A and B are shown apart, each in its own frame.
Chain A
Amino acid sequence: GDSVTQMEGPVTLSEEAFLTINCTYTATGYPSLFWYVQYPGEGLQLLLKATKADDKGSNKGFEATYRKETTSFHLEKGSVQVSDSAVYFCALPCIQGAQKLVFGQGTRLTINP
């Protein structure tokens, strides 16, 4: 079945460091890919998405490129801020039926000033 694998956390960085969170997937066909973020005490918010191969999603300085060849959708940011501290989830919708989202296990990111 469809699945998403994220790099294990937690990840701790200093402010202004470069961030990469790896995400790879297994899916039938070529689904859209999503990154959601969960700030402390809040629900999931869509961070960015890409709907087809080679698309780049971007938002708030974060970017991710849909790589069909490597079945990956790694999240990157050039200079992180303390306010980026959160849990990040990679997800894809099952193409069949309910199109429910399948999530990775999440990566907790802590940015120190």
Chain B
Amino acid sequence: DTGVSQNPRHKITKRGQNVTFRCDPISEHNRLYWYRQTLGQGPEFLTYFQNEAQLEKSRLLSDRFSAERPKGSFSTLEIQRTEQGDSAMYLCASSLGVRAADTQYFGPGTRLTVL
């Protein structure tokens, strides 16, 4: 068990460019979550996968954002036409099971800076 990994750890881009982040969850974890954390705030939910199905998306997830989890393993989060307001830490978490009490395990995050 190597934990949740995320790549890249840091991304600096210019406004208007597209970026893609990757998350590798803990092996066999069926649930995968994306959160966004801005400076001085707690993480906010973006979207959620149960296996390969994307079952819920937050209103925070504008149509410039898209997420996939092909084959129910790793996931990617793409942001098109980035804006300065997209600058944040993007966190991925995974869990095994379907109960609310099941622990979500977080990756180290990808810090995005949009210039």
Contact = CB atoms under 8 A, between A and B. Distances in A.
A43 B110 CA distance: 10
A21 interface: no
Interface centre among A36, A93, A98, A106 (most CB of B within 10 A): A98
A51 B101 contact: yes
Contacts of B102: 99
Contacts of B105: 46
Interface stretch (B14-22, B41-49, B64-72, B77-85): B41-49
Interface residues of B, number: 26
A34 B105 CA distance: 12
Interface string A86-108: 00010101110111111111100
Interface centre among B35, B93, B99, B104 (most CB of A within 10 A): B104
A105 B100 contact: no
Contacts of B108: 42-43
B40 A49 contact: no
B91 interface: yes
Contacts, number: 64
Nearest to B4: A43
B42 A100 contact: no
Nearest to A102: B45
Nearest to A42: B108
Contacts of B48: 98, 100
B48 to A, nearest CB: 4
How extensive is the interface on chain A, given as a class? 20 to 34
A79 interface: no
B100 A32 contact: yes
B107 A43 contact: yes
B42 A103 contact: yes
B45 A49 contact: no
Interface of B: 4, 33, 35, 40-45, 48, 55-56, 91, 93, 98-109
